[in-house]
Structure 1
Amino acid sequence: MGSQEDVRSVLEDGLLQNESSSQYTGDGSVDFHGKPVLKQNTGNWRACPFILGTEGCERLAYYGIATNLVTYLTTKLHEGNASAARNVTTWQGTCYLTPLIGAVIADSYWGRYWTIAAFSTIYFIGMCTLTLSASVPAFKPAECVGSECPSATPAQYGVFFLGLYLIALGTGGIKPCVSSFGADQFDDTDTRERVKKGSFFNWFYFSINVGALISSSFLVWIQDNAGWGLGFGIPAIFMGIAIASFFSGTPLYRFQKPGGSPVTRMWQVLVASFRKRNMVVPTESNLLYETQDKISAIEGSRKLEHTDELK
């Protein structure tokens, strides 16, 4: 009798542990206070509308500036076509380089949430500065009179390009982090949530295209017909909405802890690959892990599953 009761007790304890563990995510995600999160209260689709709203508004703001920027430089700052095109392409190139900064900061130090929050604020300040440069008479050159078009002063150029490159810096912290932060809301160890993650990316790119469509049609018309102050002010308002949307979902988010500098780990891989170049690869996949534990040896990182796809 005693042995049967012991067995029953062990089984009940095991069932309780499995039930308890199934209530929490298995990918190491935590809540805002750093505690393990319950699946039913956080992440998943309940958190995604805030992230999708942030991305849609941010893309609307970006394309609201980028789509018609050459026209603004030629008609309002009185630049030549070649100079205007060069300034726009230089700015757009900067917008695609700054994500390297944001990605390293997010992965190494701040995490995705705080990186998005900080760089969104910089982005919003840049949008407001750009709006002021197009609205306040002292910040822009006078209108052309006949063939006489006064050039912008250094101070006017300074205000305009300050706003423009604050936007470039701000997008560097948003572009590499928003999609990844959205993916963090789905538990990779849960097969049902893993399927939903693919659907999230469909909606993510849909929100990007909606923002770009509104900017390329409605906002361009506003800028050409109602004035550039309003044309830049509307994207600034939407960027403010993006920040508000992002912070509104904070209690529902799942967070992944920063895993240290990716540059250091990249060099570790190169050095280890060179030192072990003659090592015979084991046939059993469980021997390929860096440790036999279920979690990664690197804090804040997930353990990669073995695959034969990259032989």
Structure 2
Amino acid sequence: MPDSDGGRPPAEQRSACLVVMKGDNVGHKYDLDRELIAGRESATSIHLDDGLVSRSHAKFTPDTVGVRLFDLCSTNGTFVNDKQINSTYLDDGDQIRIGKTILKFIYRNNVEAAFHEHIYSLTRFDGLTGIHNRQTFDNTIANAIAKVANNGAPLALMLFDIDHFKRCNDTHGHRAGDHVLKEVSGTVRDNTREGDFVARYGGEEFAVIIHGLAPPGPARYADHIRALIEAKRIEFEGQAIAVTISAGVATWSSHMRAPAHLIELADQRLYRAKQAGRNQIIAL
């Protein structure tokens, strides 16, 4: 139960988060287990690509009392429940407006927090494989490229297909096909590095966002994943199913103007890998 200090529960029960209610990336959740800064600068914890938002706009600071929100001398102000603030402690259910974005503050030990976590999961993860979905990929690749524009770190994309997946469905049935999708996605997820990102791009196609490897590193990394899939023993109802993948790998460069250019290049190379006989990587 909340104590007498507004909507703040006892300190030992506090675990708070912010949920995006309006703006880009609705449903995204930010855990407030550390200080977070919201702003237009791509390196901020809560990146808001909005001309109404200052580069470093507001700060959320957890302490022994609760979570305190500070406006960082922003141009257009920070609002809590439609009232402009300089600094204030947040209460359960408060709505924070920064530019066009509305964030809801929630103490995570209540039922509403559990509901938002469920909705958040549905909006971000693929229901069959449990890895990130296409919408989350689109948001993540855009944010990753925005950061690369500032820090110059290498960024690459691997797109891959499961070879002859239709034949697998026709031969073994759709339940077996679903099992293959789960096994392949799980293998890739469990063998990527911390910080890299795996998503189901659509159907039997998957994407891996690779950080911090300059060529030929991404190609070697992708071929390692290919070899793991080829070597994996996948069985369904007593039947062994041989699975391989084909992949295209592309590295972001300054002459590209949008995420679509990186995706298109990786997709073209994926097509070439399939045309060349499958079970291979093309990165040039």
Q: TM-score, normalised by structure 2?
A: 0.29
Rg (Cα) greater in structure: 1
Q: Report 1 or 2 for greater relative contact order, CA contacts < 8 Å, sequence distance ≥ 6.
A: 1
Q: Write 1 or 2 for the structure with the bigger share of helix.
A: 1
